[in-house]
Amino acid sequence: MSSKKYDYLIVGAGLFGSVFAHEAKKRGKTCLIIDKRPHAGGNVHCEKVEDINVHMYGAHIFHTNDKFIWDYVNSFVEFNRYTNSPVAVYKDELYNLPFNMNTFYQLWKVRTPEEAKKKIQSQIDQLDIKEPSNLEEQALSLVGTDIYEKLIKGYTEKQWGRPATELPAFIIKRLPVRFTYDNNYFNDKYQGIPIGGYNKLTEALTEGVEIKLNTDFFENRAEWEAMADNIVFTGKIDQYYDFQFGQLQYRSLRFEHQTLDTENYQGNAVVNYNEREVPYTRIIEHKHFEFGTQPKTVVTKEYPQEWTAEKEPYYPINDTRNNEMFKKYKDLADKETTVIFGGRLAEYKYYDMHQIIGSALKTVKDVFNS
Query: Is residue 159 near ligand UDP by the rule CB under 6 A?
Result: yes
Q: How far is the CB of 316 from ligand FAD (least distance, A)?
A: 10
Instruction: Return the residues of window 278-337 that contact ligand UDP according to CB under 6 A.
Output: none
CB 88 within 8 A of CB 154: no
Q: Known catalytic residue: 174?
A: yes
Q: Is the dihedral of CA 14, 19, 20, 26 positive or negative?
A: positive
Query: Is residue 7 near ligand FAD by the rule CB under 6 A?
Result: no
Out of 51, 71, 78, 174, the active site residue is 174
Query: Is residue 229 near ligand FAD by the rule CB under 6 A?
Result: no
Residue (25 or 251) nearer to ligand UDP, CB = 251
Q: Known catalytic residue: 203?
A: no
Q: How far is the CB of 44 from ligand FAD (least distance, A)?
A: 5
Rounded CA-CA distance 286/264 in Å is: 10
95 forms bridges with which residues in the sheet?
88
Provide the CB-side half-sphere exposure for 13 (13 A, CA): 28
Query: Is residue 60 near ligand FAD by the rule CB under 6 A?
Result: yes
Strands 62-64 and 87-90 turn out to be unpaired
Instruction: Give which of ligand UDP, ligand FAD, none residue 269 binds (C-beta under 5 to 8 Å, depending on kind).
Output: none
Rounded CA-CA distance 183/192 in Å is: 15
Instruction: Give which of ligand FAD, ligand UDP, none residue 97 binds (C-beta under 5 to 8 Å, depending on kind).
Output: ligand UDP
Out of 105, 265, 315, 350, the active site residue is 350
Rounded CA-CA distance 73/92 in Å is: 40
Cα–Cα–Cα angle for 255, 261, 266, rounded to 5 degrees: 60
306 forms bridges with which residues in the sheet?
251
Residue (104 or 351) nearer to ligand FAD, CB = 351
Q: How far is the CB of 87 from ligand UDP (least distance, A)?
A: 10
User: Got the DSSP string for 89-110?
Assistant: EETTEEEESSBSHHHHHHHH--
Q: Known catalytic residue: 254?
A: no
| Contact residue for ligand UDP among 16, 104, 155, 250 (CB under 6 A) | 155
Q: Which residues are catalytic?
A: 174, 178, 251, 282, 302, 350, 352
